[in-house]
Amino acid sequence: MENIKNSIIKAYNFRHACKEFDSSKKISDDNFKFILETARLSPSSFGFEPWKFLVIQDISLREELKPLCWGAQGQLPTASHFLIILSRNINEMKYDSKYILNFMENVQKLPSDVIPIKNKFYKDFQENQFKLLESDRAIFDWACKQTYITLANMMTAAAQIGIDSCPMEGFDKDQVENLLINKGILDKNHFDVSCMVAFGYRKADPQFAKTRQSLDKIVEWI
């Protein structure tokens, strides 16, 4: 047990927001599949998986993204694998959407009498409890929050097998989405861009030591 805990904490210390990767080192297919698997197995609200992962390996597309992504200047050209994480929008996530109804029937394989019951809970949750239907932005932000769980899981899993990463929000969302729409990669009827994450092997050790507040500053026991 102690060994497992030590190795997990070691991975958390190893992980840092890597600004530039050694572009000569590629993540093996097997290791990258392992990273994606931790995204796939991540939890989501009601289990509805409001996400999709674009693996951007096309160098010319990465070059076109670069001027739109101020926070990915070193990562875009050097990452072994570069992901754009999409989140499903209101057309997909609203309680009465085709996506949700199909999901309950064909992915979750719920019995036909359970579907309306779950759906009623989901409707009430969206309409009244979390008020997600007040604006497109509310439901987008809610879906995005969930994609960040996959982001965290992938980065931690990668760190546990010695792979570096960087999470990124440093980009112009509208411009990135327009580029992807023009390329026929993004369908705004279904998805919005949530965030980005790069994976690879660090070119150099981090310049600065990790800074974090102590636990007593961020935890309050009641």
Ligand X SMILES: Cc1cc2nc3c(=O)[nH]c(=O)nc-3n(C[C@H](O)[C@H](O)[C@H](O)COP(=O)(O)O)c2cc1C
Contact yes or no for 195/151 (Cβ under 8 A): yes
Contact yes or no for 48/93 (Cβ under 8 A): yes
Does 166 sit near ligand X (CB under 6 A)? yes
Which of these segments, 105-113, 163-171, 172-180, 182-190, binds ligand X (CB under 6 A)? 163-171
- Closest contact distance (angstroms) between CB of 136 and ligand X is 21
Q: Which of 90, 168, 176, 193 forms a contact with ligand X (CB under 6 A)? A: 168
Residue 51 β-bridge partners: 87
Contact yes or no for 44/149 (Cβ under 8 A): yes
Q: How far apart (Å, rounded) are the C-alpha atoms in residues 78 and 198?
A: 9
Does 170 sit near ligand X (CB under 6 A)? yes
Nearer to ligand X, 137 or 210 (CB): 210
Which of these segments, 166-174, 177-185, 186-194, 213-221, binds ligand X (CB under 6 A)? 166-174
Does 77 sit near ligand X (CB under 6 A)? no
Contacts with ligand X in 2-21 (CB under 6 A)? 16-17, 19
* Encoded tokens for 132: 């997600």
Q: What angle do CA 169, 82, 155 make, to 5 degrees?
A: 70
Q: Please, what is the angle between helix 136-160 and helix 2-14, to 10°?
A: 120
List the x/- string, 96-135, binding to ligand X by CB under 6 A: ----------------------------------------
Contact yes or no for 171/71 (Cβ under 8 A): yes
Does 68 sit near ligand X (CB under 6 A)? no
How long is the chain? 222
Nearer to ligand X, 44 or 156 (CB): 156
Does 210 sit near ligand X (CB under 6 A)? yes
Contact residues for ligand X (CB under 6 A)? 16-17, 19, 71, 166-170, 210
